[in-house]
């Protein structure tokens, strides 16, 4: 039985690679890497690294071209969808008007073969209307609800700035979600926060 001829793992990958390697005395025959000296191994590695860098640049160019093309395709479809989205919102908005004018009883919704409309009671709540004022109030009254966010990695910042400078560079953020949990719409509210009255909100949902 005739033995199957073996090939080097890189054989046939690219004629230019084979020719470049041949120029430095390396033929892509099986196990060539085991029999060459260290200088040729290093030269071969450098040459392959160079080719990989070129391939990666080509991949990057193609990836960027793909992303640009996909952006163009997305924008094309967005332009076509925009008037349809507006039309859909306009129709659903009018169904909500119908819901507002319906004299609901105990049941506050109605189903159609294509969707449901009705009203829901939304309880009173609070809203943040002036974040700086609320933050100043929280710094004095609820400091655990205020977070200091550094604009640089701390290790870098400590090398470049004094403690006083760091305090001026740091960003102060109010944890509004946590503060909101502690407030009652009918209670005393801090500056920058106001009550939002309970209301009946209409809705329309396509099935």
CB 181 within 8 A of CB 164: no
pLDDT at 152: 63
How large is the C-alpha radius of gyration of the chain? 34
pLDDT at 182: 92
pLDDT at 6: 76
Integer Cα distance of 43 and 21 in angstroms? 9
pLDDT at 4: 55
pLDDT at 41: 82
Q: How far is CA 125 from CA 57, 163, 189, in A?
A: 55, 40, 11
Burial readout 123-154 (b: 16 or more C-beta within 10 A, e: otherwise): eeebebeeeeebbbbbeeebeebbeeeeeeee
Within 14-130, where are the H helices? 15-23, 32-35, 38-101
Integer Cα distance of 81 and 86 in angstroms? 9
**Sign of the C-alpha dihedral, residues 49, 54, 57, 59?**
negative
| Residue 121 β-bridge partners | 200
DSSP string, 9-26: TTTTS-HHHHHHHHHTT-
The pTM assigned to this predicted structure is 0.53
Integer Cα distance of 43 and 39 in angstroms? 6
CB 123 within 8 A of CB 198: yes
pLDDT tens by residue, the chain, 207 residues? 455 557 777 777 777 888 888 888 887 778 777 778 788 888 888 888 988 898 899 999 999 999 999 999 999 999 999 999 999 999 999 999 999 999 999 999 999 999 999 999 999 999 999 999 999 899 889 989 888 776 666 677 667 777 776 666 667 789 999 999 999 999 999 999 999 999 999 999 999
């Amino acid at each position: 039985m005739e033995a199957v001829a073996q090939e080097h793992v890189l054989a046939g990958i690219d004629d230019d690679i084979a020719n470049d390697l041949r120029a430095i005395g390396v033929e892509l025959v099986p196990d060539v890497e085991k029999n060459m000296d260290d200088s040729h191994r290093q030269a071969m590695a450098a040459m392959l690294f160079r080719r990989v860098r070129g391939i990666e640049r080509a991949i990057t160019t193609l990836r960027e071209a793909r992303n640009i093309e996909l952006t163009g395709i997305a924008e094309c479809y967005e332009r076509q969808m925009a008037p349809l989205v507006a039309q859909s919102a306009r129709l659903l908005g009018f169904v909500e008007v119908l819901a507002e004018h319906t004299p609901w009883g105990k049941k506050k919704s109605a189903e159609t073969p294509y969707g449901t409309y009705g009203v829901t009671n939304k309880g009173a709540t609070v809203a943040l209307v002036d974040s700086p004022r609320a933050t100043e109030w929280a710094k004095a009254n609820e400091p655990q609800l205020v977070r200091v966010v550094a604009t640089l990695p701390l290790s870098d910042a400590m090398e470049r700035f004094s403690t006083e400078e760091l305090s001026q560079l740091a960003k102060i953020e109010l944890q509004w979600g946590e503060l909101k949990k502690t407030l009652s719409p009918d209670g005393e509210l801090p500056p920058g926060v106001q009550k939002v009255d309970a209301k009946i909100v209409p809705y329309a949902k396509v099935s």
